[in-house]
Amino acid sequence: MNNQIKKINLNHSFIFFLFCNIFSILSFKITNFTISSLICLLLILSIGVSHGSLDNLKGRKLFQILRIDNFFIFYLSYILISLIVIILWIITPSVSLMIFLIVASHHFGKEDTQFLIIENSNYNQLLFFLKGSLIILAPMYFHFDETISIFKLLLIENESFYEFLSFVETNEILLYCIFLSTLSNILLFAKNFELKKFTIFFDYFSILIINYYLPPLLAFTIYFCFLHSVRHSISLMSELDKDDLTNGLSIFIRKALPLTILTAIFCFLVLFLLNNTYDFDDSILKIIFIGLASLTFPHILLEYLIEKNEK
């Protein structure tokens, strides 16, 4: 089954690479090409959020390992962690953003690559972090001012924070960091080489292409929904039915739908409230990034606890 997953992910990466090239070039050629931030939100709330909508099943698995009977504790803990992240973001937005970017870099690198890498060493964890950091570095390198504008909309008013980012951009530190990310891709590709590892380079060039041609929000939406989320969902489908991936897809949709819809309803309620104070597009940006941060931390913590306790 592992070889089948590798083959599926290779085909998926190749299709995604072609899509990124065609879509980016067309958007570049079309004058005044734009995609509404609302469409980005809808994609993230459907395709993007759904890949974490089976966390309740993972939570049940964790509670079985820990022999905890009261499953209400899981939902309460998950919601509390999400709320704590939002509160901390309001109190210390610059620190919260930096922590989120670091954690997200490792998460993206690991989730997008670990199906190819068996060994779970600290060295590989570092390579995962460097690989995933490209998701953060590429929009800053190609669209620095636009990325800074997004940061400012996320309640970050710390001038020292922006002075540091300006120093990083002025002194080409971003380029050096991208070089390290590139090197990590090469090292992951070369380690225990097999043809299916070309997935790594398809992903690498896809991320660079969409961030070069497209604005940061759209580039992130395309990556998050159609590469990261789809890949994670494929692994979940294989867990749900190891023998029939089509049936796994059917089970995944049925099980992911309730929490996906619930999350979307909650986000639209928050959007309605925020829209009374902020512009519509600004409200959407806050929901996408602060909302994703509040969901990402409990999601990653759950993955870590399952991995640790299964050992």
How confident is the model over 222-268, as pLDDT tens digits?
Answer: 999 999 999 999 989 988 888 888 899 999 999 999 999 999 999 99
Asked whether residue 168 is domain-assigned, the answer is: yes
Q: Stretch 83-105: mean pLDDT, rounded? A: 93
Comparing 17 with 311, the larger pLDDT belongs to: 17
Tell me the DSSP string of 237-269: HHHH-SS-HHHHHHHHHHHHHHHHHHHHHHHHH
Residue 131: what pLDDT?
97
Among 81-85, 142-146, 205-209, 236-240, which is the least confidently predicted range? 236-240
pLDDT band at 28 (very low <50, low <70, confident <90, very high): confident
Asked whether residue 37 is domain-assigned, the answer is: no
Asked whether residue 76 is domain-assigned, the answer is: yes
Give how far Cα 181 sits from Cα of 64, 128, 185, 190, 254, Å: 38, 9, 6, 14, 37
Residue 223: what pLDDT?
97
Asked whether residue 36 is domain-assigned, the answer is: no
Give the structural domain span for 299.
2-11+42-105+117-310
Asked whether residue 264 is domain-assigned, the answer is: yes
Asked whether residue 247 is domain-assigned, the answer is: yes
Among 170-174, 193-197, 220-224, which is the least confidently predicted range? 193-197
Domain count, the chain: 1
The three-state secondary structure class of 192 is coil
The dihedral built from the CA positions of residue 108, 241, 13 and 230, taken in this order, carries a sign that is negative
* Whole-number average pLDDT of the chain: 91
Separation CA 249–CA 260 (nearest Å): 15
Q: HSE, CB side, 13 Å, CA atoms: give it for residue 266.
A: 16
pLDDT band at 109 (very low <50, low <70, confident <90, very high): very high
Q: Are 137 and 181 in contact (CB under 8 A)?
A: yes
Asked whether residue 35 is domain-assigned, the answer is: no
Q: Are 115 and 6 in contact (CB under 8 A)?
A: yes
Would the pLDDT of 303 be above 70?
A: yes
Asked whether residue 124 is domain-assigned, the answer is: yes
Structure tokens given for 148: 């800074």
pLDDT band at 1 (very low <50, low <70, confident <90, very high): low
Residue 161: what pLDDT?
87
Among 89-93, 94-98, 192-196, 262-266, which is the least confidently predicted range? 192-196
**Residue 96: enclosing H or E segment and its boundaries?**
helix 93-111
